[in-house]
Structure 1
């Protein structure tokens, strides 16, 4: 697991109060919403704010690109790395 991937998992756990999860329990490639981690639209907003604050990266609203970026931990990590 890369350092950034691990940081994103910790950010998800902290920002969304998922204290019953550990970073190791979050699959890098699993969907974050619905079937995978089971996050919802409110979680997406909170996670977007947390990512902006942590990495100074803004992900625009409900666009096709933002859906791709928020698909999984891996896709978030790839997006953040591409901007840095």
Structure 2
């Protein structure tokens, strides 16, 4: 099992906080799917996460972005995308 990078831990905490999940950030597996099987999130959850990311990191995740499937595939992929595009 790989170790969690600081940004991955931060994004896990953001997800738990934004969605009021009843799991700890440490329980979110880095490579498990965030939607459907895995964490079990849905499209409304994606909107909430995108809003929280916009507020905290200063950039927009657009609902019509064809890369969303890859961006939101897992905690690891979402954290990497945020790290690359954040403005704050």
Q: RMSD of the alignment, in Å? A: 1.1
- Shift in Å at residue 63 of structure 1? 3.1
TM-score (norm 1): 0.91
Question: Hey, which bits of structure 1, 4+ residues long, moved more than 6 A?
Answer: none
SS of residue matched to 2:31: coil
Task: Mark the runs of 5 or more structure 2 residues left unpaired by the alignment.
Answer: none
- Which segments of 5 or more consecutive residues in structure 1 lack a partner in the other structure? none
Cross-structure match for 1:35:
37
Counterpart selection for 2:66 from 64, 67, 78: 64
The whole-number CA distance in structure 1 between the counterparts of 2:6 and 2:59 is 17
| 1:78 is the counterpart of 2:80 | yes
Q: Render the CA deviation track for 1:8-56: whole Å, top value 9, x for unaligned.
A: 00000000010x2111110011110000100001101001000111111
Instruction: Give the total of aligned pairs.
Output: 83
Q: How many Å separate the matches in 2 of 1:61 and 1:54?
A: 18
Q: How does 1:1-12 map to 2 (within 5 A)?
A: 1-12=4-15
